[in-house]
Amino acid sequence: MSRFDPTAVPVRGTALDYQSHVRANATQLNGYRIVGDWYRAGVPAADAVAWANQGFMPAEARPLIAVGITPQAYASRSQLADLAAGGPARFTAPVRDGWVLHFGGGDGTGTLIRDDESTGPLPWHLVTDAMRNLGVEVHTVSMTRDGRKDPRYPPFIDTLNSIADQLWADAEHTVAEHPAKRWSVVYVDGEPAAWCAAQMIDGVMRCTDGYERPGPGRDEGLYPLAYHHRQATQVQRRQRPAVTHLFEDPPGLIEMYEADGWVRGATGPGELAPHVWWELTWNPDAVPDRWL
């Protein structure tokens, strides 16, 4: 994986060797000034050639390289027939290091944006690759997967049990295990950082256990990634009525659900002050199908 590094030595020899190699092999965008920009950015000559041959200027490739996308991976985007399941048509969620994920308009593409940098629309498999390169992954976790024990499940439940008092104080949650419960878990550097769950009970999808783990490196606003993963992989995919209960805080949480067709219903005080709950329901017949 190449990254922009002014101190890197891209190839053996001098800048003139670099210029000669790139200009001889790049079929476009191979002017001296452009090749010099690749060299000063620390991009290996072979990668500079590959980016240039796909029509990228150095500044355009910079954000892709920053999230670990190689020119070879980018070139393969049209050759993969199926985008990985799990992407809704439209949402915004923070990822890490200032990068924010914006989903496209229903075609399964996403764009990572940081300040004035943008990767441009990427197929979902490249989005997940980029997030993984940033140390962020989203997985479905359950007791069993395809008839086998899920190796992620025991350590995840251990994490929940280790913060049981905090879960209750913050969210009035208790750790409830069930074979049919499916968790959407956001991992940061291999550790659970945010999650939510869903379970079908009497024909209704019960959406529960939404939480983002506080603490250094944890409170980064990652819950939207867990929520949208569950919405796409369980709620929308199953096309059954769904219900959930949310605190009215933090601001914007309920509105995020409402943007996907959830509707507020009953409200009331929680068991712990100052918690105030809202019940929200989701009816597949009343929501346009805008998910993958």
Q: Domain boundary at 133, 166, 201, which?
A: 133
Sheet hosting strand 182-188, strand order edge to edge: 136-141, 182-188, 191-201, 204-212, 242-247, 276-282, 263-269
Both 152 and 231 in a single domain?
Answer: yes
Residue 10 has pLDDT above 60, yes or no: no
Tens of pLDDT, residue by residue over 177-207, are 898 999 999 999 999 999 999 999 999 999 9
270 and 202 in a common domain: yes
- The tally of domains found in the chain comes to 3
Q: Mean pLDDT, to the nearest integer, of 62-87?
A: 64
pLDDT band per the 50, 70, 90 thresholds, residue 264: very high
Single residue among 108, 133, 158 that ends a domain in this structure: 133
Q: What's residue 84's pLDDT?
A: 35
Question: Residue 8 falls within a domain, yes or no?
Answer: no
Percent of the chain with pLDDT over 70: 85
Residue type at 252 in one-letter notation: G
Is 245 among the domain residues? Answer: yes
**Of 240 and 76, more confident:** 240
Expressed as residue numbers, the domain containing 119 is 82-133
Residue 32 domain flag? yes
| Banded pLDDT at 5 (limits 50, 70, 90) | very low
Let me know if residue 10 belongs to a domain. Answer: no
Of residues 29 and 206, the one with the higher pLDDT is 206
* Over residues 241-258, mean pLDDT: 89
Do residues 57 and 72 touch, judged by C-beta distance below 8 A?
A: no
Q: Is residue 260 part of a domain?
A: yes
- Among 133, 149, 174, the domain boundary falls at 133
Q: Taking the CB of residue 57, how many other CB atoms lie within 10 A of it?
A: 13
pLDDT at 124: 77
Is 218 contained in some domain?
yes
- Over range 77-89, report the average pLDDT: 39
What integer is the mean pLDDT of 4-30? 72
Residue 2 placed within a domain? no
115 within some domain: yes
